[in-house]
């Protein structure tokens, strides 16, 4: 069923792979214009999705994620234009060497090829992902959730038309219109056509992709993020960082979920942090030592240590040393973002070297793990795997490379 | 069954991840010494494998790959020592930026973690792979073929003892002693413990891994390599390069398999190349235009264009243009290595930019696609995928990275 899309994507990639920056930026500009010009059409299609959602009893928060209005569509268009202003990622010479036999070897960045993105209910992902893939020279096959299918179809149509008007093959952007589970499964196994698959969504989607895909995958998103308050912590920083990391946006992957506190500072720190978190009614669950300090705290189970709550809830453990904190994180972390709060440089360096996560912070909120905050301009997700991309996936991470070897008749 | 190995590997990785260069090099030196000291024991174990192989009717070429003697064991030890002399790959600062809010973000190379290597009958892979993984700070789980199990067990034992003597956990190197298909399948799905799986072997093994693995895989090895002789080619270079790429070692993945010749030079070039290849009795199969020039050539089928012969055989196609050559390669190549022979710089650049393979050559043999020849010192295989590693996989490719973010209380 989807093979045709695969063939189209590979064919369009031949053109996109070698397209100039000007050409690609022109296409992005056309897309942004198209989104603005077709605002009414997009809102109309989105209304159908919203009505269906309400009919099917979709939760309020989900309906909000699904909803598009004039302002949000302007935001999508602006996002596309922002991508156009980013530096050209294709064709950078990453290294160059001359071998004793006279061969000159250049390592050059290239597009990956065909990128498939499977995502859930947020229709703005359609234009975000398409823009990043186009700029990085990759054709994209988008497969969104059925909840947003009418919005996605309209957005994809607008984008394809814009690309065509810019003189590029419209198949650089394709949408899978079949939103059945079968279409997702088929996409996960199209090794002949798909160079990488990026799932964007909840833990369930990501696990399904990791288990079923035979194409290479970049795993994204799940963040069981820890903050460790060292005995040499500055308490004010500790309180501010925990409050920010837990409550500024609890539903996102870089929100903190678990708090580890050194025993020597436990009482003072925990009481101060609890007082602050109470402003947002955060529920704490803790180990026995934490419950000695705050007796009305529920007991944390083993499942709690491994849970990404994505809610106003946090687990608390009192540890004997930075080593115990590191061990706990090694065992339970999803490898997203962790933080140490300390004024002791030696302890900080130990933590930052030994904690095996994409982003390790000294005295700063885990909420900074984000392409924009890192200065990447934009991101297609946060990788929690160690292969190819780790942390925010920006344009450079959407590149492969190849070796160009210049000889003059050399043989071996 | 293999879960214990996974747990051990993760545990040992905690130490290896932060081990100093000196410590790792000391372990490598001990391994090299151990291999030399235990030469007799290794040869004895290898004899059992060779006898079993003969009993089971193993082909001569396979028996030769399996065989270890004093010289080959010395070669293995030397290979391990060579790895010790390579630059330290862990902890390199890949980039550093300071954000407007004062956060300093360092991107630092780190080990990947636990690497599993599934390989076939060559027991020297055991020490090669172990040395590269150790130097790059990755614990390794080795799973060799049953043909070499006695050799592998002895080599692994020697290496583990040596690592222990160097004061490191012996579990940084582990061997799967169960060589059943089930053990390979289990290894392919140990997502909790294995960060990347590298298959080394024939197309059958690699396809089985790509289809079954749920852990991230680096696909290696299959090379349907092309040489395109442009109308502006220097004929002497063309003859030398094709002869070298086809016949210097036909059984390896960087050997050439398919020859494309521009029509304007076809007659002259094909006759000259055929005369040279006749010295090694290379069989040519061709399209109708090639057969007009050499009538006793068999017809090439569609399967021929897609075949990695690994033998004294080559397919030949006459093309109308460099564009047709690029299209043919785009359709049939496995993305390993391709070459253009031309004196025209414009045509060369077009070919080298548009051919989407790990290594693209101008006027040089495809046989140079090799970690040693590229100056990497050593390699664990040649990647034909575009994610993470492409081309020879050396120490830098056995690294992931993480972000270390230094703050002073920043919140978002």
| Burial class, A382, CB count within 10 angstroms (exposed 0-12 / middle 13-18 / buried 19+) | buried
Token readout for B311 is 């033998």
Is the predicted pLDDT of residue B331 greater than 90, yes or no?
Answer: yes
Q: What is the DSSP letter of B90?
A: T
**What's the pLDDT band for A331 if we cut at 50, 70, 90?**
very high
Domains of chain A: total: 2
In CATH, what number is assigned to the domain containing residue B236?
3.40.309.10
Contacts B217 to A, Cβ<8 Å: 216
Give the lowest-confidence range in A35-44, B111-120, B206-215, B237-246: B206-215
Is the predicted pLDDT of residue A399 greater than 90, yes or no?
Answer: yes
pLDDT in tens, B289-306: 999 999 999 999 999 999
Interface contact B373, partner A, CB < 8 A:
yes
Is the predicted pLDDT of residue B202 greater than 90, yes or no?
Answer: no
CA distance B178 to B145: 10
**Closest C-alpha among A29, A18, A20, A45 to residue A159:** A29
Q: What is the mean pLDDT of residues A342-367?
A: 98
Is the predicted pLDDT of residue B220 greater than 90, yes or no?
Answer: no
Is the predicted pLDDT of residue B333 greater than 80, yes or no?
Answer: yes
CB B359 within 8 A of CB A22: no
CB A135 within 8 A of CB A395: yes
Q: What is the mean pLDDT of residues A199-225?
A: 89
Interface contact A97, partner B, CB < 8 A:
yes
Say yes or no: B31 and B110 in one domain. Answer: yes
pLDDT at B119: 92
Say yes or no: B175 and B45 in one domain. Answer: yes
Is the predicted pLDDT of residue A216 greater than 80, yes or no?
Answer: yes
Q: Are B388 and A385 inside 8 Å of each other by CB?
A: no
Region class of B96: left (phi > 0), else alpha (psi between -120 and 50), else beta: beta
Output the average pLDDT for chain A: 96
CB A229 within 8 A of CB A268: no
Say yes or no: A202 and A229 in one domain. Answer: no
Q: Are A358 and B404 inside 8 Å of each other by CB?
A: no
Q: Is residue A386 part of a domain?
A: no
**What's the pLDDT band for B363 if we cut at 50, 70, 90?**
very high
Contacts A354 to B, Cβ<8 Å: 14, 17-18
The whole-angstrom distance between residue B373's C-alpha and the CA centroid of its chain comes to 13
Say yes or no: A120 and A170 in one domain. Answer: yes
pLDDT at B61: 82
Q: Is residue A326 part of a domain?
A: yes
Q: Is residue B373 part of a domain?
A: no
Q: What is the mean pLDDT of residues A207-224?
A: 90
Cβ pairs bridging A and B (under 8 Å): 196
| Burial class, B90, CB count within 10 angstroms (exposed 0-12 / middle 13-18 / buried 19+) | buried
Q: Are A330 and B14 inside 8 Å of each other by CB?
A: yes
Q: Is residue B374 part of a domain?
A: no
Say yes or no: A205 and A312 in one domain. Answer: no
Say yes or no: B206 and B231 in one domain. Answer: no
Q: Evaluate whether ipTM surpasses 0.90.
A: yes
Say yes or no: A271 and A204 in one domain. Answer: no
pLDDT at A60: 87
CA distance A132 to A126: 10
CB B28 within 8 A of CB B213: no
From residue B258, give the alpha-carbon distance in Å to each of A204, B274, B310: 45, 13, 11
Interface contact A359, partner B, CB < 8 A:
yes
Q: Is residue B140 part of a domain?
A: yes
| Burial class, B412, CB count within 10 angstroms (exposed 0-12 / middle 13-18 / buried 19+) | middle
Say yes or no: A303 and A399 in one domain. Answer: no
Say yes or no: B286 and B339 in one domain. Answer: yes
Is the predicted pLDDT of residue B121 greater than 80, yes or no?
Answer: no
3-class SS of residue B307? coil
In CATH, what number is assigned to the domain containing residue A69?
3.40.605.10
The whole-angstrom distance between residue A102's C-alpha and the CA centroid of its chain comes to 43
Q: What is the mean pLDDT of residues B207-222?
A: 90
Say yes or no: A87 and A105 in one domain. Answer: yes
Is the predicted pLDDT of residue A62 greater than 90, yes or no?
Answer: no
**What's the pLDDT band for A120 if we cut at 50, 70, 90?**
confident
Interface contact B312, partner A, CB < 8 A:
no
Domain containing B253 equals 225-368
Residue with tokens 């009418």: A150
Q: Is residue B320 part of a domain?
A: yes
Say yes or no: A60 and A179 in one domain. Answer: yes
Interface contact B406, partner A, CB < 8 A:
yes
pLDDT at B203: 82
Say yes or no: A106 and A230 in one domain. Answer: no
pLDDT at B151: 97
Q: What is the DSSP letter of A366?
A: G
pLDDT in tens, A268-315: 999 999 999 999 999 999 999 999 999 999 999 999 999 999 999 999
Output the average pLDDT for chain B: 96
pLDDT in tens, A124-166: 889 999 999 999 999 999 999 999 999 999 999 999 999 999 9
């Amino acid at each position: 069923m989807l093979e045709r899309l695969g063939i189209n994507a590979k064919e369009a990639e031949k053109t996109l792979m070698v397209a100039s920056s000007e050409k690609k930026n022109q296409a992005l500009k056309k897309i942004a214009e198209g989104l603005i010009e077709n605002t009414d059409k997009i809102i109309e299609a989105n209304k159908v999705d919203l009505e269906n959602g309400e009919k099917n009893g979709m939760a309020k928060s989900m309906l909000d994620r699904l909803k598009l209005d004039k302002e949000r569509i302007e935001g999508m268009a602006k996002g596309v234009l922002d991508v156009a202003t980013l530096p050209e990622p294709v064709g950078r010479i990453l290294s160059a060497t001359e071998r004793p036999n006279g061969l000159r070897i250049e390592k050059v960045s290239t597009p990956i090829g065909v990128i498939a993105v499977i995502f859930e209910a947020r229709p703005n992902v359609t234009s975000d992902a398409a823009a990043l893939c186009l700029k990085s020279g990759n054709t994209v096959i988008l497969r969104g959730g059925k909840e947003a299918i009418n919005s996605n179809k309209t957005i994809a149509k607008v984008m394809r038309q814009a690309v065509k008007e810019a003189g590029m093959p419209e198949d650089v952007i394709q949408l899978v219109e079949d939103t059945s589970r079968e279409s997702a499964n088929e996409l996960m196994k199209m090794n002949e056509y798909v160079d990488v698959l990026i799932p964007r969504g909840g833990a369930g989607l990501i696990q399904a992709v990791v288990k079923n895909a035979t194409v290479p995958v970049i795993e994204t998103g799940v963040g069981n993020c820890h903050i460790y308050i060292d005995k040499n912590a500055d308490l004010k920083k500790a309180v501010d960082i925990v409050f920010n990391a837990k409550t500024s946006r609890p539903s996102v992957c870089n929100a903190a979920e678990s708090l580890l506190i050194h025993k020597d500072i436990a009482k003072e720190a925990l009481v101060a942090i609890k007082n602050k978190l109470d402003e947002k009614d955060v529920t704490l669950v803790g180990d026995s030592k934490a419950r000695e300090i705050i007796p009305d705290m529920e007991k944390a189970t083993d499942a709690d240590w491994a849970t990404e709550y994505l809610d106003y809830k946090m687990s608390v453990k009192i540890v004997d040393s930075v080593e115990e904190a590191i061990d706990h994180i090694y065992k339970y972390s999803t490898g997203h973002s962790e933080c140490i709060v300390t004024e002791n440089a030696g302890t900080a360096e130990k933590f930052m070297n030994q904690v095996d996560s994409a982003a390790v912070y000294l005295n700063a909120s885990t909420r900074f793990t984000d392409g924009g905050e890192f200065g990447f301009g934009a991101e297609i997700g946060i990788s929690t795997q160690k292969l190819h991309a780790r942390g925010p996936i920006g344009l450079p991470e959407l590149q492969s490379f190849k070796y160009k070897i210049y000889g003059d008749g050399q043989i071996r």
